[in-house]
Structure 1
Amino acid sequence: MARKYFGTDGIRGRANAAVLTPELAMKVGQAAGCHFLRGDHKHRVIIGKDTRLSGYMMETAMVAGFTSVGMDVILTGPLPTPAIAMLTREMRADLGVMISASHNAFPDNGIKLFGPDGLKLSDEDEEAIEALIASKMPLATGGDIGRARRIEDSRGRYIHAVKGSIGQDARFDGLKVVIDCANGAAYQVAPTAIWELGAKIFAVGVEPNGTNINDNVGSTALDAVKAKVIEEQADIGLALDGDADRLIVVDEKGETVDGDQLMALIATELAAAGKLKGGGVVATVMSNLGLERYLEKLGLPLVRTAVGDRYVLEAMRAGGYNLGGEQSGHMILLDHATTGDGTIAALQVLAALVRSDKKASELLHLFDPVPQLLKNVVYADGDPLAHADVKAAIAEGERALDGRGRLVIRKSGTEPKIRVMAEGDDAGEVERVVDAICDAVTKAAA
């Protein structure tokens, strides 16, 4: 069944325009509430958000939706996406909601849903909720209408949980850490957690005003954290995105360390300690071939999935793995969290740095990435990938890279873009392949 609202990571779009309106948010609340009204206990939902101006509007609309079908609502205020997943499970809620558009600019917003187990909903659940949105839903009346309340200790609960992910004796004394919170959901909890473990903190992106989330800060705009690392002569820089479910690292020289290098480090650490479950690592088709080759030398297979941390998690659970992630910085450590958690991943990296007694530049660059190029082509409508000339260009690219690289073509799940990625040992050939396919897509989309 084709889905109208849900993409690869919930519902996302321009807030108060086109699809993502308060009316839709209320209907999603009603539909999700009805779908999870199971059993005769009093049902409850946890709602968190990032720091976008539109978060107030979306939160209020969703409260109206959930309470109107008989669900009680617990509001946390700004918290990372993984914190909402954790609290949903910890507080025995029937459903968790994160209002966020992740790394997108502030005019956008989104709705992510978690089941009572703290896991993102399955395709089947999302399809059932979409079907309910289009139907007439039964409303609660009288004393059956839900209540809403705000809890004040949610930040403390989350900080305690993430600190527990590295053991009681771990300390970061003497470490100079720059942390960029993207003026987003982790602006309070991430610096506090790392400071409590003894590090000296230099914070960037911790002054949200409703409109500056991800604005030249965070994991998709690294100039600010790089500059601060050099200015303060810090040991390491950490950059989160708007909802803090992804992490990108900067070493003491100001060089970028992406999710693939972080997976290599964490896999190496876990394997050495005998704690890597499943005998390998799960990543998406976008992860660099260099990571795959590095893990092969350790005797660890790399299992690839479609793009999206939900698909990484599905493969992890199916195969018994406890480590997975994405090049973009989503790190899932299933022993500690049910979804990507940038703060937990950051603590693993800092703990490894302390244990190694090495500089970040020595520790964090474990393999040489294969030349990789990703370009995006915007299209208005239709299906450019179905065009004969595009198919021919893709086939020619696959022939050129056969045995020497990989080609990945996909539609974005959140934007009207075709993403063209190629990698191989010959950088020139990779560029020629990508440019030829992008040109074909551009002409087909015209």
Structure 2
Amino acid sequence: MTAELVMRLGAAAGRYFRRDQQEHRVVIGKDTRLSGYMIENALTAGFTSTGMNVLLLGPIPTPAVGFLTHSMRADVGVMISASHNPAYDNGIKFFGPDGFKLSDEAETEIEAILSKGVTLAAPENIGRARRIDDAMGRYVEYVKTTFPNKLRLDGLRVVLDCANGAAYRAAPNVLWELGAEVIPVGVSPNGHNINSDCGSTSPEAAARKVRETRANLGICLDGDADRVIILDETGAVADGDQIMGLIASNWAREGRLAGNALVATVMSNLGLERFLNSQNIGLERTAVGDRYVVEKMRAEGFNLGGEQSGHIVMTDYATTGDGLIGALQFMRSMVETGKSASQLTQVFDPVPQILRNVHFAPGKAPLATDCVQAAIAEGEKRLGAGGRLLIRKSGTEPLIRVMGEAEDQALLDAVITSICDAVSSVS
């Protein structure tokens, strides 16, 4: 992603949203990657060249961009982040004026404008850029409103791993202001260490810190803070499925679970589905990706959804996954029930599940080959009705993700290994 391409993309998006001569604005946030400086400047040049006024938020979580896009009456919001990916990657997420991510159709239109070339504004009509110094404070204050006024986090010792990412200042401030004793991890970003041996994809350091400090729980966010996983007092990991199961059962009991159902992806564990059924709560499955979860929620009126990876989407509070708000919902249960983290994270017994990633070379298409298709067919036959497979290409990295579930762990391992070997042989 070059500066030139990003500038042209900003201009195309600016032209898409600025369809008349009225004043228009865009808010831009970023995580802590070194390349964020380059991309931020290039986007600013592109947007202002079409007459859009740019409001720069600085390092801030992805959900804050969605919130502030709507709050500041902007026409579009942009988050510069590659989420949980390594520092050498980067990406751009667009939000519409309602604070929700743009649809596939809108992004296709922007791409069409990009390919045709953009008509720039006249010199006297170019936009201005300014920094919003209190953007993080606005988000911090909003996040605190999602936690009941009558409750505090006094007495909770919390290890908080911010992945050296976008929430490295906001998240510790929220928990401290609500009364928790915060033990920070991953709060020293240098442009290169985002998600490096820390955060929701690498919780080992936080788990060690939980045990060393005898903390009540650990919270691990990812680089742009739209994901969360919880560590109990022993350092054991609870993924998004367990957190969603807890919140869904709490909200159903309180009569606030819209549609009496949770929206999750095909990756969510069969154990979650069985637990929800036992609570007379429905489970609506979608394709992998928080975008598809949110689309399903908005189309059918659900207010809770997410992914096993830790995206927890609560449309009562946010327009996208918000790791910090998800963590507060979990801690609310701790405060209200007096139960330990380990008592609350074991909502259901997961069915054995294996997920492996296999790299493939650029230009290759392993899933289209006969040998991989044959291995998948054989695996499905061996697992039968008691198991399932989900094989897909990653949307962000050159990986084939191979996932399977079955009660028989040994059989499952053999099937997954066979498919991964087949993918490797043509990669």
Which of 39, 44, 48 matches 2:29? 48
Alignment partner, residue 201 of structure 2:
220
Task: Tell me the SS of whatever aligns to 1:62.
Answer: helix
Question: After the TM superposition, which of the residue ranges 391-400 and 198-207 deviates more from structure 2?
Answer: 391-400
Partner of 2:416: 434
2:244 matched to 1:255?
no
What residue identity is the alignment partner of 1:406? R
Measured after TM superposition, the shift of residue 136 of structure 1 is: 1.8
Correspondence 1:190 to 2:175: no
Equivalent residue for 1:175? 156
CA distance in 1, matches of 2:364, 2:205: 39
1:394 aligns with 376
CA displacement at 1:131 relative to structure 2: 1.2
Provide, for residues 168-219 of structure 1, a one-character-per-residue CA deviation record: whole Å limited to 9, x for no partner.
Answer: 2221111111101011100011110111111111111111111111111111
Quote the Cα distance in structure 1 between the aligned partners of 2:59 and 2:216: 29
1:344 & 1:140 partners in 2: Cα distance?
A: 40
Letter in 1 for 2:189: P
What's the CA shift for 1:40?
Answer: 4.3
* Equivalent-residue separation in structure 1 for 2:378 and 2:157 (angstroms): 50
Q: CA deviation at 1:358?
A: 0.8
- Match of residue 99 from structure 2: 118
Gaps of 5+ in 2: none
What residue is the counterpart of 2:264 in the other structure?
Answer: 283
C-alpha displacement at 1:41, in angstroms?
A: 2.7
Residue 326 of structure 2 corresponds to residue 345 of structure 1: yes
Q: CA deviation at 1:435?
A: 1.2
Q: How far apart, CA to CA, are the structure 2 residues paired with 1:437 and 1:372? A: 15
Cα distance in 2 for partners of 1:135, 1:40 equals: 21
2:220 to 227, 234, 239: 239
Q: How does 1:320-331 map to 2 (within 5 A)?
A: 320-331=301-312
Q: How does 1:277-426 map to 2 (within 5 A)?
A: 277-380=258-361, 381-426=363-408
Task: Give deviations 1:238-275, integer Å, cap 9, x for gaps.
Answer: 00000000001100011001000000111111111111
Q: Distance in 1 between matches of 2:47 and 2:76?
A: 10
Q: Which residue number in structure 2 is paired with residue 209 of structure 1?
A: 190
Structure 2 letter corresponding to 1:73: V
CA shift, 1:39, in A, is: 4.5
Rounded to whole Å, the distance in 2 between the matches of 1:406 and 1:353 is 34
Match of 1:144 in 2: 125
What amino acid maps onto 1:431 in structure 2?
A: D
The equivalent of 1:4 in structure 2 is: none
- The letter of the residue matching 2:240 is G
Q: Against the structure 1 CA distance between its residues 167 and 40, is the aligned structure 2 distance closer, same or farther, given a 3 Å change threshold?
A: farther
- SS of residue in 2 equivalent to 1:402: helix
Superposed, 1:150-161 pairs within 5 Å as 150-161=131-142
- The superposition leaves residues 310-334 of structure 1 with CA deviations (integer Å, 9 ceiling, x where unpaired) of 0110111122111101111000011
User: Helix, strand or coil for the counterpart of 1:436?
Assistant: helix
Question: When the two structures are aligned, how many residues end up with a matched partner?
Answer: 426
Deviation at residue 106 of structure 1 after TM alignment: 1.1
SS in 2 for 1:238: strand
Aligned to 1:6: none
Distance 1:40 1:349 in 2: 47
Task: Please list the CA deviations of residues 270-293 of structure 1 after superposition, one character each: whole Å capped at 9, or x if unmatched.
Answer: 111111111110111111111111
Structure 1 outlier segments of 4+, above 6 Å = none
Code of the aligned partner of 1:215: S
Q: How far 1:383 moved relative to its partner?
A: 2.0
Question: RMSD between aligned alpha carbons?
Answer: 1.0
Q: Which moved more, 1:171-180 or 1:64-73?
A: 171-180
- Is 1:444 the counterpart of 2:419 in the alignment? no
Distance apart, 1:80 and its partner CA: 0.0
Superposed CA offset, 1:132-191 (max 9, x none): 111221111222100000011111110111111122222111111110101110001111
Provide the residue aligned with 1:230 in structure 2: 211
Among all aligned residue pairs of Structure 1 and Structure 2, give the percentage whose two residues are the same amino acid: 59
1:3 match: none
Q: Structure 1 counterpart of 2:246, which letter?
A: L
TM-score of the pair, normalised by structure 1: 0.94
Give 1:235 deviation, angstroms.
0.5
Task: Output the CA distance in 2 between the equivalents of 1:324 and 1:439.
Answer: 34
Distance 1:443 1:215 in 2: 29
Q: CA deviation at 1:109?
A: 1.1
Matched, 1:38 2:19: yes
1:283 is paired with a residue of what secondary structure?
strand
